[in-house]
Amino acid sequence: NDSMIKKAGYYLFAAFFALFRLFPLREDKVFFVATHDDSPEGNVGIVAEALRRRRPEMKLCFLTRRDGIRHPITFFVIRAYQMATSGTIFMDNEFMPMAYTRVHPKAKVVQLWHGTGSIKRIGLDVETGQVAELAKRANRRITHLIVNSERMKKQYARAFGVPEEKTYVLGLPRTDLILDGECMEQKRESFYAKYPQLRAKKCVLYAPTFRDDEVDDPRLALDLAEWTRQADQDEVLLLRLHPHVAANFSEDVLAAYGDSVINVSAYPGVTTLLAVADCLITDYSSIIYEYCLFDRPMIFYAYDLQKFRENGRDFYEDYENYVPGPVVQNQSDLVKIWRQEGEWKEKVADFRREVYEFLDKNAVNRLFELIFHI
């Protein structure tokens, strides 16, 4: 079965890793685990680009979603060698083979994670059984867990099973990118170069979170025909689906809607999409932590709130009171709310103050000072 195959893969990676541990550790070599977001806009991509600029002599190596058992030599041999001999390892996700590896005592393992915060429970707060045991063992390798605020420190330390003294409140690299107005303007322009027909449109980004039971049977909880009937001429709906759902989503569904509905799930980098979105519709996604920096309205289409609370991952906070925008549970209410201006500004500002310790574009500087002393 799947879990046995995965476990065998973890063992094999760890066996090669143990062999390559016999080689000298290279302080000038950095290994990036970007299995969640390997775009230039993810935390890992931003750190890699900053390192290229500041320390061009360093050797950078990457493990992404595209690596894996389909490319066995690359994954089990080359990536294991690169990882075992790197002085610093940056990660944006859990990497389960680490449950069976022993990293060099001088190596730094830096968990950046891929989200700036989380509404829904993550890591050891939801994982159970063998998965939790593996995650716990893998996370023991973490030497530095980077978080956004004091509020997140306890939450993330517990979710990763990492002591609080190894958890550092520095801010996340992606925040630097979003706060760089000139850079965001360039990214907007690159988006409009690809979709010139959207330049004068009002873009609504629908980015629902991943539900564990939808991998093989992706469902769109939005009636697109109804949405386009209600939408104004100058409004366009951008769909950003989770990679697992997007892989099984049929483009044929959208054929009838022309440029009124566009699937941007494969667009490289969600930050650009947040920059062009005039409004965000989501449910339990962590992208609200980034979108609140744009100071624009958010609507929470939580159509399965009770089910998610009971059978899903549940939440860290009282959902309805915590999220910075109105919560609706059906599409007709969604359309009504969408037509109102609402009092979202104050809610978004309060939320931003609560979840951000720093808004100074210096997260990468603080990180490099801690890890590389530069």
Look at residue 62 in the predicted model and tell me its pLDDT. 97
For 92, phi and psi rounded to 5 degrees? Answer: -120, 15
User: Is residue 157 helix, strand or coil?
Assistant: helix
Q: Are 237 and 335 in contact (CB under 8 A)?
A: no
pLDDT exceeds cutoff 80 at 80: yes
pLDDT beyond 80 at 91: yes
- What residue type is assigned to position 95 of the chain? F
Question: Rounded mean pLDDT of the chain?
Answer: 92
- What is the CB-side half-sphere exposure of residue 187 using CA atoms within 13 A? 22
| Whole-number pLDDT of residue 159 | 96
Q: Which of 295, 237, 239, 290 is nearest to 119 (CA)?
A: 290
Closest to 175 measured CA to CA, from 240, 267, 91, 113:
113
Model confidence at 322: pLDDT above 70: yes
Q: CA geometry: angle at 276 spanning 297 and 207, to 5°?
A: 65
> What one-letter code names the amino acid at 5?
I
DSSP H or E run through 289: helix 288-291
Q: Is the dihedral of CA 364, 368, 369, 370 positive or negative?
A: positive
Please give the average per-residue pLDDT across 98-126, as a whole number.
94
The mean pLDDT of 84-101, rounded to a whole number, is 96
pLDDT score for 289: 96
| Secondary structure (3-state) at 182 | helix
Beta strand spans in 185-323 (E): 202-207, 235-239, 261-263, 279-282, 298-301
Residue 119 and residue 239: Cα distance in Å, rounded?
21
